[in-house]
Amino acid sequence: MTIAGSPSEQSGSEVLKKTNQRAFRGSILHFFNDPQNKTETENSHLWEYIEDGCLVIENGLIHAVGHAADIMGQLPTTCPVIDHRGDLIVPGFVDPHIHFPQLDTIASPGTDLIDWLNRYAFPTEAAFQDKTHATAVAEFFIEELIRNGTTSALVFGTVHRTSIESFFAVAQRKKMRMVGGKVLMDRHCPRELQDTPESGYADSQALIHEWHGRDRLQYAITPRFAITSSDEQLALTGKLAQENPRLIIHTHLAENHEEINWVRQLFPRHRSYLDVYDQYGLVNQQSVFAHCIYLDDADLKRMQSSGATAIFCPTSNLFLGSGLFDIKKADEAQMPFGVATDVGGGTSFNLLRTLSEAYKVNKLQGQFLSPLRAFYLMTLGGARALHLDSNIGNFMPGKEADFVVLSRTATPLMERKLSQNRSKDGLPTLTEQLFTFVMLGDDRAIKQTYIMGEAAKVRSA
Ligand SMILES: [Zn+2]
């Protein structure tokens, strides 16, 4: 059993005799590190799985986690116990790359990235200068995240301040830990979506001042990509990053061939796409680069040495025909990476669906993404990508109590599948269970989503 507080506070039943506590009983899985391709019979110090577990929450934080047999007897009689026996409790999902203004762009056909941006994404984004519209979209978008078990995300706004202000206001009301930023974009897009180097810099500074560190919200410096920012804007973005060294820098990198060729024409003196960002001071351990499909050996080396994080977006990469992210190469280069939905280029808000596609992208390259690693990537892996792992990502006491309850009987097929393949103790192995969730699970598997210990899911479908 792991309990919050100093060792002297951890003896006897006194430890759990606190007010404002609630306990959740069910199977519990959380991670302490990346299991990579370890199996469930080895290296169990990388994760903890408790078949009949108990999670105790106090004032929105994790207070204790352990075997129900150890904890239940210590709970004060006044402590409510929410019974999720039969279900699987995991930390809230973290989506490290998503565009909130592209809610209505999802599932729009285009030929490739640039065509899709021009035909669907840019026209949709133009409406976000209107606060009423931006707020209404933010409400639906956040509700959809919660419905899919996602409790934190790294979010693109549009070029308009109102977009991310509206998003932050809704996220704050729902007490969510969110990271986001206003897009910086001063060329190669419709005029109504352009800022200037100076206005983008000033608006970002004002937003940082107003929102960064407010409740659970954090600001991210957000140039769209090298194509839509002039040298002057990239230089001022680098200045912004230098002046705010603890902020995430969030942008796109090396997603498709046409995009990369265009970057080569615009920045002929730079060795590579990554080098463009590097020259402007935008490559460091705070950098989060979506896609990273086409990085050469020198780029991979630079990603590793800088500590920058790559984000693999499988449904988007398949939908737009961009290419296949190579996890094996990322591991060999020791390049940190996360997995994200990239809605609206991505085709699902659901990270189970997303990891299912990640598995297939790996398979096409002769690689294996273990279901344990898939669950790590959706939880602690996502938190680490955003440097939020001291706040969220697993059930270590003191962390914020964002978690998801997954139903083993979400669909008749899942129920049937999870009652088969029985190991000698009568249950499917953990790996079999997790693989079933990844391959067959979707929003129906999300029985409940808790934010700071409070049930947040209001719509079931
Ligand atoms: Zn994106």
Q: Which domains does the chain have, with CATH numbers?
A: 2-92+395-455 (2.30.40.10), 94-385 (3.20.20.140)
- Cα separation of 46 and 121, whole Å? 40
Segment 362-383 mean pLDDT: 97
Q: How far is the CA of 148 from the centre of ligand 1 (A)?
A: 19
Q: How far is the CA of 177 from the centre of ligand 1 (A)?
A: 20
Q: Considering the chain, what percentage of its residues have pLDDT values greater than 90?
A: 85
Q: How confident is the model at residue 19 (pLDDT cuts 50, 70, 90)?
A: low
Long-range contacts of 435-440 (CB under 8 A, 24+ apart): 435/371, 437/88, 437/352, 437/371, 437/375, 437/406, 438/352, 438/355, 438/356, 438/359, 438/371, 438/374, 438/375, 439/356, 439/359, 440/411, 440/413, 440/414
> Pseudo-torsion of CA 160, 164, 166, 169, nearest 10°?
-150
pLDDT for res 55: 98
CB crowding 255-274: b at 16 or more within 10 Å, else e? bbeebbebbeebbeebebbb
Q: How far is the CA of 311 from the centre of ligand 1 (A)?
A: 10
- Cα separation of 178 and 350, whole Å? 17
pLDDT at 195 over 90: yes
- Cα separation of 339 and 362, whole Å? 13
Give me 219's structure tokens. Answer: 């600001």
Q: How far is the CA of 188 from the centre of ligand 1 (A)?
A: 17
**Contact 53/25 with Cβ under 8 angstroms?**
yes
Q: How far is the CA of 393 from the centre of ligand 1 (A)?
A: 22
Q: How far is the CA of 347 from the centre of ligand 1 (A)?
A: 12
Q: How far is the CA of 252 from the centre of ligand 1 (A)?
A: 6
Per-residue pLDDT tens over the stretch 262-296: 999 999 999 999 999 999 999 999 999 999 999 99
Enumerate residues 6+ apart whose C-beta is below 8 A from 344. 99, 102, 103, 104, 105, 106, 107, 108, 120, 121
Q: How far is the CA of 153 from the centre of ligand 1 (A)?
A: 13
- Crossing angle of the two packed helices 131-147 and 161-173, in degrees rounded to 10: 50
Q: How far is the CA of 224 from the centre of ligand 1 (A)?
A: 8
- Of residues 118 and 407, the one with the higher pLDDT is 407
Q: How far is the CA of 251 from the centre of ligand 1 (A)?
A: 8
Q: How far is the CA of 290 from the centre of ligand 1 (A)?
A: 6
Q: How confident is the model at residue 10 (pLDDT cuts 50, 70, 90)?
A: very low
- Of residues 38 and 127, the one with the higher pLDDT is 127
Per-residue pLDDT tens over the stretch 295-309: 999 999 999 999 999
Q: How far is the CA of 458 from the centre of ligand 1 (A)?
A: 27
- Give bridge partners of residue 176 from the DSSP assignment: none
Q: How far is the CA of 437 from the centre of ligand 1 (A)?
A: 26
Q: How far is the CA of 80 from the centre of ligand 1 (A)?
A: 42
- Cα separation of 106 and 348, whole Å? 8
pLDDT at 7 over 50: no
- Of residues 116 and 342, the one with the higher pLDDT is 342
pLDDT for res 4: 63
Q: What is the CA radius of gyration of the chain?
A: 22
- Of residues 226 and 419, the one with the higher pLDDT is 226
The total number of residues shown for the chain amounts to: 461
pTM: 0.94
Q: How far is the CA of 291 from the centre of ligand 1 (A)?
A: 8
pLDDT for res 112: 82
Enumerate residues 6+ apart whose C-beta is below 8 A from 222. 156, 157, 180, 181, 182, 183, 184, 250, 251
Segment 204-213 mean pLDDT: 98
Q: How far is the CA of 130 from the centre of ligand 1 (A)?
A: 22
Q: How confident is the model at residue 427 (pLDDT cuts 50, 70, 90)?
A: low
- Cα separation of 313 and 354, whole Å? 8
Q: How far is the CA of 345 from the centre of ligand 1 (A)?
A: 7
Exposed (0-12), middle (13-18) or buried (19+): which is 423, by Cβ within 10 Å? exposed
Q: What is the DSSP string of 208-227?
A: HHHHTTSTTEEEEEEE--GG
Q: How far is the CA of 158 from the centre of ligand 1 (A)?
A: 12
Q: How far is the CA of 253 from the centre of ligand 1 (A)?
A: 9
Q: How far is the CA of 452 from the centre of ligand 1 (A)?
A: 28
Q: How far is the CA of 362 from the centre of ligand 1 (A)?
A: 20
Q: How far is the CA of 410 from the centre of ligand 1 (A)?
A: 30
- Give bridge partners of residue 448 from the DSSP assignment: 405
Segment 63-69 mean pLDDT: 97
Segment 19-41 mean pLDDT: 91
Q: How far is the CA of 31 from the centre of ligand 1 (A)?
A: 27
- Cα separation of 275 and 425, whole Å? 54
Q: How far is the CA of 367 from the centre of ligand 1 (A)?
A: 25
Q: What sign does the CA torsion over 303, 304, 306, 310 have?
A: positive
Per-residue pLDDT tens over the stretch 236-262: 999 999 999 999 999 999 999 999 999
Per-residue pLDDT tens over the stretch 374-404: 999 999 999 999 999 999 999 999 999 999 9
Q: How far is the CA of 397 from the centre of ligand 1 (A)?
A: 34
- Cα separation of 113 and 152, whole Å? 26
Helix (H) or strand (E) holding 96: strand 93-99
Q: How far is the CA of 47 from the centre of ligand 1 (A)?
A: 30
pLDDT at 41 over 50: yes
**Helices marked H in 23-160:** 68-71, 113-116, 122-125, 131-147
* Cα–Cα nearest to 171, from 142, 197, 192: 142
Segment 82-100 mean pLDDT: 97
pLDDT for res 348: 97
- For 302, list phi and psi in degrees, rounded to 5: -70, -40
Q: How far is the CA of 122 from the centre of ligand 1 (A)?
A: 13
pLDDT at 460 over 80: no
Q: How far is the CA of 118 from the centre of ligand 1 (A)?
A: 14
Per-residue pLDDT tens over the stretch 149-159: 999 999 999 99
Mean pLDDT value across the chain: 93
Q: Sheet containing 47-58: which strands, arranged edge to edge?
A: 2-3, 61-67, 47-58, 21-31, 81-91, 403-406, 446-451, 454-455
